[in-house]
Chain A
Amino acid sequence: MSAHIATKKLYVGIWAALMVLTVVTATVSRIDLGAASAAVALIIATTKALLVVLFFMGVKYVSQKMTIVVIVSGVFFLGILLVLSMADYGSRAFK
């Protein structure tokens, strides 16, 4: 069994999607969305990151399940870092 080889067409398609999302996030940033603007920017950035990870980095086609475990746990660690830090600082106003 050898590694999955994606088509050139797929890579160009992902590139086009990333370009479109860049234009979308740049355009949306000029509109005053108030508190929602950060959330919108992060949702678009995460969509772009997922496209990069799944297709350019080939995680969608990874054959070794251990690699998936490592990637998911890494993202989970990052989540612990960010969520628990924010839970601390965000709750300091409550006395």
Chain B
Amino acid sequence: MEQQRESAELGMWLFLITEIMFFGGMFCAYMVYRYMYPMAWEAGSEQMDFWFGTINTVVLICSSLTMALAVRSAQVGQRKALVILLIITMLFGCVFMGIKGVEYYGHWTEHQFPGPNFQFAGPDAQHVQIFFFLYWAMTGLHALHMLIGIIVVGFIAYWSWRGKYGADYYNPVENTGLYWHFVDMVWIYLYPLLYLISHKHAG
């Protein structure tokens, strides 16, 4: 059984490596364009809402704690704590998505979505548009992962409640935890790279 658990863990990490490369391509594009247009990156970052970004970072760190504790509850066979912690993790995920939605709505109405409706008053508008393209692409892909994560945690919570997992079998709980922490980790990088570039940021 232990060997099976280790194999499942190894398989999950292989999947996460493909995810690292998936996000890595975007981080690479971010790096090259930031190197080329540093001023546009500062100007774009000043349009970000510091508090939305910071609060969402805190929300995700809290969700990672409840997820880690959920996996621990599964390991020691505490079914009730496992279900409750998974539900709290989902709620944190929903709070994150809610804040992100409000933020997206603001950027949308401010004409900060790249395309024909994009408007930017300052100089270098075309390069600021690249910043916003990467902002939407990177946070959008991250938000999609969050959405999938919330749904998966929901299924795991249901099956936990049905008593499917315990101290002798909890691979799905553990691997869902790995996925959740990975998505949290992507945000740990997105937060300073998108919100904290300019020291003149508002808030």
Contacts and interface: CB of A to CB of B under 8 A. Distances in A.
Interface in A65-93: 66-67, 70-71, 73-75, 77-78, 81-82, 85-86, 89-90
Tier of interface size on chain B: 35 or more
Interface residues of A, number: 51
Contacts of A52: 64, 181, 184-185, 188
Given A41-B193, A56-B67, A64 B10 contact: yes
B192 A45 contact: yes
Interface residues of B, dominant DSSP: helix
Interface of B: 2, 5-7, 9-10, 13-14, 16-17, 20-21, 24-25, 27-28, 31-32, 35-36, 50, 54, 57-58, 61-62, 64-65, 67-69, 72, 75-76, 174, 177-178, 181-182, 184-185, 188-189, 191-193, 195-197, 199, 201
Interface of A: 1-3, 5-6, 8, 11-12, 14-15, 18-19, 22, 25-26, 29-33, 37-38, 41-42, 44-45, 48-49, 52-53, 55-57, 62-64, 66-67, 70-71, 73-75, 77-78, 81-82, 85-86, 89-90
